[in-house]
Structure 1
């Protein structure tokens, strides 16, 4: 059973494994990920191996409406990293718009994109300031 906890799960572009923090919703990036991003002068930034994300911070009660992983996984890992480490000189609004575009590229249904985007715009300032 321990082997299953460390076995990587592959989402379309980011190799992840369950993080051994004791929390069921934390995942760790296994290999560094290069992300194309028009928000900085270099046109990209790197998410290092070992970075930990909870994907979308959705209360379990609403998983049926907005799954915290699956199609949204890649975009949410990128968004979490941008909020925490701010590797680009961009406003929170610009980062959120970039995330919204990533969600669309991951084929997340438009209605889910708008719910997630609206939630982040309304409450994301709390995490942005930390």
Structure 2
């Protein structure tokens, strides 16, 4: 049984995607066996997908847990000090793929496409957190 994500809608500035605030802490086990705790109050947009692509890749879906953890790892710049920027970002991106496929293995092709989009364009979000 998976942990539930309990969120509430939080209005975003007009130039931003919808935001969701985590109402309860959320715990997830990563592919390396480590456990990450996303605290209550954390704000996410889940998957940062351009509106043009929402028909194919909606920002909210069965992969919400994966997107939430991915956003949090980016915000923390998780493992950057020990792995370096490129390897730490790749680790975070791989967690999205790992968790999305664990949640819904039937959509693995969709998850791989999303993973590669994050690999290509996620660098801008990662560097914005510095």
- TM bin, normalised by shorter chain, reads 0.7 to 0.9
Give the superposition deviation at 1:34.
1.5
**How many equivalent residue pairs?**
118
Contact 2:29 2:36 in 1 (8 A): yes
SS at 1:71 equivalent: coil
**After alignment, is 66-75 or 86-95 more displaced?**
86-95
Cα deviations by residue, 1:49-103 (Å, 9 ceiling, x for unpaired) = 0100001111122111001112021110110000011344551111111110111
2:20 pairs with one of 24, 27, 39: 27
1:71 pairs with one of 62, 68, 77: 62
Give the TM-score taking structure 1 as reference length. Answer: 0.80
Give the TM-score taking structure 2 as reference length. Answer: 0.80
Q: Distance in 2 between matches of 1:76 and 1:97?
A: 11
Q: Which 5+ residue runs of structure 2 have no aligned equivalent?
A: none
Q: Which 5+ residue runs of structure 1 have no aligned equivalent?
A: 1-10
SS at 2:58 equivalent: coil
RMSD: 2.2
Q: Could you say which structure has the higher helix fraction? A: 2
| Corresponding residue of 1:96 | 93
Q: Distance in 2 between matches of 1:123 and 1:16?
A: 26
